[in-house]
Amino acid sequence: MLQPHTCQRARRSRDARFDGQFFTAVLTTGIYCRSICPAPSPKEENVRYYPSAAQAAQAGFRPCLRCRPDCAPNSAVWNGVDTTLSRAIALIHRGDLQDQNLPEFAERLGVGDRYLRQLFQKHLGLSPKTYALYQQCLFAKQLLHQTQLPIHQVAVASGFNSVRRFNDCFQKNLKLTPTQVRRQTNPASETIQLDLSYRPPYNWDQVQPFLAARTIEGLDACDANSYRRTFQHDGVTGSFHAIHQPTKNRFQVSIELDDLQALRPTIQRIRRLLDLDVDSEAVFATLRECLPEPFPLKQGLRIPGQWTMFEAGVRAVLGQQVTVVAAKKLVRTLIETLGETQGSQRFFPTPRAVAAADLSFLKMPQSRKNTLATLAHHYLTHPEPDQPEAWLALKGIGPWTVNYAKLRGRGDPDVFLGGDLGVKKVVQQHTPDLDPNRAAPWRSYLTMQLWSMY
């Protein structure tokens, strides 16, 4: 946690660089704000500082309606914190603690439930469950603001099983009832519309061509200022369309989904696919140390992702030893042959479909077809198939494939693809004595910087 006098100066100057790093609670109003809040700064003796919005809420304050501290980017606080804790937080943001109890949840992280509790208490000052509920309320608040969904549906989509509990919890966390938060000004529409904001800068000019070069007709599409794609995963089918609004530092996203319960994890995946949660400025500063001045570092670089780990793995295998264009052709054939179709929409094939298929239609070496089949089979037989480290045991899958999948499928921030041909060439040409370890824990962004020069 920052020192109080640092917080004081940061909030007086409304310095955007501190946004999200701490929250200012005002005793006289019972409201907590971001450091950038446009409201007149309160007297120092009336404020308390908290490292996270959740803690300010827990102490009885409600989020400010002007600066919306509940919307501040949520990644800054946990940088450098223990990996178990950050993994737990990421899972909670995905909504995994909603339908699992704590012991089960802790087991997935490989620790006991008591220890997990202790970790949360020490770093966040709240229990995992309390934290999860707070996140559910924030999510509900966004839905109330930006959609027309009736309260009951909002409750379900936010992971509550009874409206009674929802109302109660919402009131406790935000000091307002759901209807008080609802704005009546929204136009009615069948699709869910949400704004997903990010911490600037966001280099759309890097992300856009990267995505556009890999689009498959029917599955996804990318134009000058938007990206759309279909998805099918965990029995949920849907699609989204994200329009970039650079002046507002956000994407306007419309989502179609056949099961509202999946809304939270879906949004989480969209955020990851567009890499909305990283603190680009912090990354840039670290990379600058590793690649000093004459090197043309780009601001706001992101890691464009894929929908699932399976898709990332499949694309990595199909991309072995071939160009982006050739890989795209293979992916297209795979989708056209094995993917489900709904009207003009196409879906990425499931592990089951790939495992069951005769892959002779793919124009690539037999050994690679076998690898693809093995990967799909791994998905059908293994309880936690999304752990790419375990893929190394599969024939034909080496470090490059695993790292590529980690980078694009999981959005892992610290993967250096040193073995990649493109990366190698750029390093050789521009910065032969590069030490990638100096870019930790942002080596994935180093990889993207190098790729963007290729």
Is residue 33 among the annotated active site residues? yes
Out of 178, 304, 313, 349, name the contact with DNA by CB under 7 A.
Answer: 178
Q: Is 139 in the site for DNA (CB under 7 A)?
A: no
Out of 150, 187, 294, 343, name the contact with DNA by CB under 7 A.
Answer: 150
What's the full length of the chain, in residues? 454
Q: In this complex, which beta carbon is closest to DNA, that of residue 158 or of residue 320?
A: 158
Dihedral angle, C-alpha 215, 240, 385, 414, nearest 10 °: 70
Q: What is the DSSP letter of 99?
A: S
Is residue 7 among the annotated active site residues? no
Give dist(CA 359, CA 365) in Å, integer. 11
Out of 16, 90, 109, 163, name the contact with DNA by CB under 7 A.
Answer: 163
Q: Is 413 in the site for DNA (CB under 7 A)?
A: no
Out of 28, 121, 162, 186, name the contact with DNA by CB under 7 A.
Answer: 162
User: Which one of 33, 37, 67, 222 is the catalytic residue?
Assistant: 33
Q: In this complex, which beta carbon is closest to DNA, that of residue 2 or of residue 163?
A: 163
Q: In this complex, which beta carbon is closest to DNA, that of residue 164 or of residue 382?
A: 164
The DSSP-derived string for 271-325 is: HHHTT-SS-HHHHHHHHHHHS-TTS-PPTT------S-HHHHHHHHHHTTTS-HH
Give dist(CA 229, CA 238) in Å, integer. 9
- Backbone torsion region of residue 226, taken as left when φ is above 0, otherwise alpha when ψ lies between -120 and 50, otherwise beta: beta
Long-range pairs, 77-83, Cβ under 8 A, ≥24: 77/20, 77/21, 77/51, 77/52, 79/279, 79/282, 79/441, 80/441, 81/123, 82/119, 82/123
Stretch that binds DNA, among 19-27, 29-37, 158-166, 203-211 (CB under 7 A): 158-166
Q: In this complex, which beta carbon is closest to DNA, that of residue 114 or of residue 363?
A: 114
Q: Is 260 in the site for DNA (CB under 7 A)?
A: no
Give dist(CA 31, CA 57) in Å, integer. 9
Out of 9, 66, 114, 248, name the contact with DNA by CB under 7 A.
Answer: 114
Out of 13, 79, 177, 387, name the contact with DNA by CB under 7 A.
Answer: 177
Give dist(CA 76, CA 116) in Å, integer. 21
Q: Which residue has the tokens 């061509």?
A: 209
Nearest partner of 16 among 197, 246, 200, judged by Cα: 200
User: Which one of 19, 70, 220, 420 is the catalytic residue?
Assistant: 420
Yes or no: say if 182 and 225 are a contact pair by the CB < 8 Å rule: no
Out of 29, 41, 127, 431, name the contact with DNA by CB under 7 A.
Answer: 127
Stretch that binds DNA, among 144-152, 221-229, 312-320, 382-390 (CB under 7 A): 144-152
| Strand order from edge to edge, sheet including 23-26 | 47-50, 23-26, 31-33, 62-63
Q: Is 122 in the site for DNA (CB under 7 A)?
A: no
Q: Is 110 in the site for DNA (CB under 7 A)?
A: no
Stretch that binds DNA, among 27-35, 66-74, 82-90, 157-165 (CB under 7 A): 157-165
Q: In this complex, which beta carbon is closest to DNA, that of residue 121 or of residue 428?
A: 121
Q: In this complex, which beta carbon is closest to DNA, that of residue 105 or of residue 227?
A: 105
Yes or no: say if 181 and 145 are a contact pair by the CB < 8 Å rule: yes
Out of 87, 129, 175, 430, name the contact with DNA by CB under 7 A.
Answer: 129
Give dist(CA 73, CA 196) in Å, integer. 10
Binding residues vs DNA (CB under 7 A):
114, 127, 129-130, 133, 150-152, 160-165, 167-169, 171, 177-180
Residues annotated as catalytic (active site), given as ranges: 33, 420
